[in-house]
Structure 1
Amino acid sequence: MTAETSALYDVPGPRALARHRLYGLLALLAVAALVGWVVYMLFHTQQFTAAKWSPFTYRGVQELLLRGLGNTLKAFGWTVLLALPFGALFAAGRLSDHRAVRWCSTVVVEFFRAMPLLVMIFFIFVALKVEPLWALVAGLTLYNGSVLAEVFRAGVLAVPRGQREAAYALGLRKTQVMAYVLVPQANRAMLPSIISQLVVALKDTSLGFLITYEEFLHAGKLIATNLDYDLPFIPVVMVIAPVYIGMCLLLSWTARWVERRGRRSPKVRGGAPMARPGIGMGLPPEAQERRPGPE
């Protein structure tokens, strides 16, 4: 089998392939050494002893973690429900033909996108005296919704200009062009960025512990502060971190599943009608009737 050529780079030869394998092997050894050192330090500091893991077998500790996980998912769910419409609304505003609407939408998006998330959460919680859950949700919605607005706008503008012009030539209004032509085609380009931003929102729910919202990280902090052995946060982190990683991987898997379904070509039933022999497709009916068929 011959090696395939590429327009971007030359196909590596035998010596280059040998170097690449050597670099890969060295990187693998470095990662393995790092992981081995971390595991050694965990054993050296006695992080896997039964005394440090027995508290997680208590029902009260398990209920506290489950309650914190539920609060995290609640905050994330409200953020998704509010940030997506927020982003779609202000993306449409930034794409508006009316200058005043476009400028106002741009000011809102740029302001909340540039404002530090923690500052917004603290301001809503302290100055406006909002409950911890809704202060966290409001801050996450304003920030992530502004980022999603830019994602939506960039996805719509990435659709080739000819698609928009063809839709207008058919007599469609702007809302119809957006709903039926531009947005469906932009979904494929926008989906990875949307899911990435949702992953960021899920991880940012951990900021709720700073305003005493009892989310997953806050529950872990309560458990660690009540343990009476050295380095109590390490076992707690080893319990909490895989849960966060699992939720983020689940979101990524969901995005890939939706993307695969979106790439499937729709089933086309039937086809274009075929003309009978001897019938001129471009002739009027009278001329078609007078035209003799094939002998």
Structure 2
Amino acid sequence: MSAVLYDVPGPRAKARNRILNVIVLLAVAGVITWVVLRLNDNGQFQGRRWAQFQYAAIQRELLTGLVNTLRAAGLATVLAMLFGAVFAAGRISDHKWVRMPATLVVELFRAIPLLILMFFFYYGSLEFQLGLTPFHAVVFGLTLYNGSVLAEIFRAGITAVPKGQREAAYATGLRKNQVVRLVLLPQAIRSMLPAIVSQLVVLLKDTALGFIITYNELLYVAKQMGGRLEFGFPYIPTYFVVAVIYIGLCSLLSMLAKYLEGRSRRSRKTTAPPVQIEESTAA
């Protein structure tokens, strides 16, 4: 008995896979235990290093960093989605004079590292006195990089819709923008949603690069908190707390994506078929 891509494992293969899984789990558990013991030997779990988190002022600092992270990520998400939609439309245009520049812009900003874009806006603003703050540099960098990636995701999702859908829409007399907006895009969104959410998770995490240009986000706040002598330079405990915050934010995004995907499936199943009206024949 075989599956589509590989042979179904037999009893011996299944037993061997179970043994390998147990070995891998034990190895991972061993590495985690070793790391925890090493941190404990170095005094990273001492109460002194964790005491700062009980103070309201420290909690407000973390909250300020979290708000700044969400503010930059939220604005960059909106701008990146708009950027991606515009340049994805340009990439699928029938006009070469539109398609070629859009392709050039997308490929250019996909190839430039995000940190270089942030440096360009931040230090370029200082050089030419443009008045851009670290917040603007972070948002513009995130928008250009992630917007170009989203543009490619949108383009790939639209072109992946079966060709028959496009031809049937044109046969009804719709123009291209109507075909894309009314026929292709609603079908493509369901397949694009996981990739879009994955890219937005990357965008959220990439806000941490803003600490290099002194943007007061979570990682920048954590670096300041970890350098306090009175608490024994609690870098690792502080980074643990910040990591948990990032994990929680990314998990919320993933849960939202699953909810939207499930809702789209339910709406598709419950959508009533079009009612066909039969013409009555004259007696």
Which category describes the TM-score, using the shorter chain as reference length?
A: over 0.9
Number of residue-to-residue matches in the alignment: 276
Q: Of the candidates 73, 80, 83, which is equivalent to residue 83 of structure 1?
A: 80
Q: Within 5 Å, give how 1:33-182 maps onto structure 2.
A: 33-129=30-126, 130-182=132-184
Cα separation, 2, equivalents of 1:273 and 1:168: 24
* Matching of residue 247 in structure 1 with residue 242 in structure 2: no
Residue in 1 aligned with 2:205?
203
Partner Cα distance (2:99, 2:122) in 1: 30
CA-CA distance at 1:58 after TM superposition? 1.6
* C-alpha deviation, 1:272, in angstroms: 3.2
1:235-259 Cα distance to aligned partner (Å, 9 max, x none): 1111110000110111111111101
SS in 1 for 2:82: helix
Question: Cα gap change, 1:208/1:270 in structure 2, threshold over 3 Å: closer, same or farther?
Answer: closer
The one of the two structures with greater contact order (alpha-carbon pairs below 8 A, sep at least 6) is 2
RMSD, matched Cα: 1.7
Q: Look up the equivalent residue of 1:209 and give its one-letter code.
A: F
The structure with more radius of gyration:
1
Deviation at residue 41 of structure 1 after TM alignment:
1.3
Deviation by residue 1:198-234 (Cα, 9 ceiling, x = unmatched): 0010000001111111001101111111234655211
Give the SS at the match of 1:128: helix
Shift in Å, 1:114: 0.5
- 2:263 is equivalent to residue 266 of structure 1: no
- Which structure 2 residue ranges, 5 or more long, are not aligned? 127-131
Residue 172 of structure 1 aligns to which amino acid in structure 2? L
Task: Tell me by how many angstroms 1:75 deviates.
Answer: 0.3
Distance 1:93 1:155 in 2: 14
The whole-number CA distance in structure 1 between the counterparts of 2:180 and 2:6 is 39
Could you say which residue in structure 1 is the equivalent of 2:14?
Answer: 17
- Give the residue type in structure 2 aligned to 1:267: T
2:72 is paired with a residue of what secondary structure? Answer: helix
- Structure 1 or 2: more helix by fraction: 2
Query: Could you tell me how far 1:56 is from its partner in structure 2?
Result: 1.3
Please give the alpha-carbon distance, in whole angstroms, between the structure 1 residues aligned to 2:68 and 2:4.
Answer: 51
User: Could you say if the C-alpha distance between residues 101 and 269 of structure 1 is closer, same or farther in structure 2, counting changes exceeding 3 Å?
Assistant: closer
Partner of 1:292: none
* CA shift digits 1:22-81 (9 cap, x unpaired): 111111111111111111112211222111111111221111111011000000010011
Q: Residues of 2 paired with 1:187 and 1:212: CA distance? A: 37
Cα distance in 2, alignment partners of residues 173 and 266 from structure 1: 29
1:257-282 C-alpha deviation (Å, 9 max, x unpaired) = 1011111213317843468xxx7xxx
Where do 5+ consecutive residues of structure 1 fail to align?
Answer: 280-284, 290-295
Q: Distance in 1 between matches of 2:274 and 2:186?
A: 24
CA displacement, residues 100-144 of structure 1 (integer Å, 9 cap, x when unaligned):
111110111111111111111011011124111011000000000
Tell me how far apart the structure 1 counterparts of residues 249 and 25 of structure 2 sit (CA, whole Å). 27
Letter in 2 for 1:77: G
Amino acid at match of 1:268: A
Aligned counterparts of 1:157 and 1:227: Cα–Cα separation in 2:
57
Identify which range, 164-173 or 45-54, moves more after superposition.
Answer: 45-54
Query: Could you tell me how far apart the structure 2 residues matched to 1:110 and 1:270 are?
Result: 43
- Secondary structure at 1:196's aligned position in 2? helix
Q: Which amino acid aligns with 1:96?
A: S
Q: What TM-score, normalized to structure 1?
A: 0.89
What amino acid is the match of 1:203?
Answer: K
Query: In the aligned structure 1, how far is the partner of 2:90 from the partner of 2:274?
Result: 41
